Amino acid sequence: MNKYIFLSLLCPWVILTSCQDTPSTHSPVKEIHIADFEGKFLPQTELPLMQHLELREDTTGYIGQIKDICAIDSGLYLLDAATLSLSRFGLKDGKLQQTIYGRGNGPLEYIQPAALTADESNVYVLDLPGMAIITYNRDLKAQKKTTLSVPCFDFIKVDGGFLCYNLTPSDDFQPLIFIDDEGHLKKSFQVSHQNLPLTTGAKIFTSNARKDIFIQPPFSRTVYKWDAQKEKPIEYIRLDFGNKNLPEEINGEMTDPFDEPYAIPTHCFVGEESILCSFLYNDKRYYALSLPGKAIKTGQIIPQQTAPFFPQWQIGDMTIGTYSGDFSSDDSSDSTGEMLLLFGLNAIEDR
């Protein structure tokens, strides 16, 4: 089975990321009203064009199961969920440059890597059970291990430290925590009133080429932007599905919100003026496209190509997703086994 990755170029895209503080509300919050979407379809022609970049290991397709992705300049770093390895590929040619296996109990090793993030110089690996962040340089040489006070399942590098999403919130450590580079708590924030032992599987944090940071808590209809000056999350986008809204405050009595008649927000990619969000309803994935001065376009994606459209990550001006090579109509590849492919999307605003 061949596997692929796609990148969506969203130029110029501005993506959002984000004590016991309350998040600030700066007016105006972008309200996106999404209604009457059942049974509707959004042609892929409404979205940026896709380009393909095949990831290869020597002369064969790269075999792997992507858990997370980040980048430094022309290097694309992939965390493999199956082998727990960390690999670097060329972002332009898709060729594998290096792979390390850092699992172990040593001073600079991880137990179960959960997420990646990067800045201009380093790649950071979040070790969930090890409750640590391990710093690697761009050549994947381990430099440092930072111990955490709570287990976190996603994080992102920001000025002055890291934003992390806490799996075990308490009065002292709210769901969104801001720590310094040594792992010490600076502030924490209550950005979600939902008490569920579940996640949507989507990334909590995203970032764009302008280094704007955005936070979308699991099941939340609110997307926050991180104010680096005030060191606070700001309400930036609010999704409204009308009578299909998931209640703001839900608890353990709702065992599985996916079984309820609600729209479940998962991903939100934000451009300079355009916004592309995905959500689940009745076991179907829908997308909502917001452009300035135009009505919201909503529906399931009708693919132009055999590859499915499902962006899951963002690097700079690109969104990224994966799909199986069995969907590809290109029979010219001499690769064997699974492969990864990258797609590029052109600017939504310019279309």
pLDDT at 92: 87
CATH code of the domain made up of 3-345:
2.120.10.30
Q: Which residue has the tokens 């640590």?
A: 132
Is 0.75 surpassed by the pTM of this model? yes
Q: Could you tell me the CA-to-CA distances from 330 to 52, 54, 334 in Å, in that order? A: 11, 11, 10
pLDDT at 338: 45
Tens-binned pLDDT, residue by residue, of the chain (351 aa): 445 555 554 443 333 333 456 566 555 899 999 988 998 998 777 766 567 778 888 777 777 889 999 999 999 999 999 999 999 999 888 899 999 999 998 899 999 999 999 999 999 999 999 999 999 999 999 999 999 999 999 999 999 999 999 989 998 999 999 999 999 999 999 997 666 556 778 899 998 878 899 999 998 999 999 999 999 999 999 999 999 998 876 655 555 667 678 999 999 988 777 788 999 999 999 999 887 788 889 999 876 655 677 889 988 777 888 776 655 545 544 544 344 444 434 445 555
The residues spanned by each domain of the chain are: 3-345
| Structure-block tokens of residue 177 | 């925590």
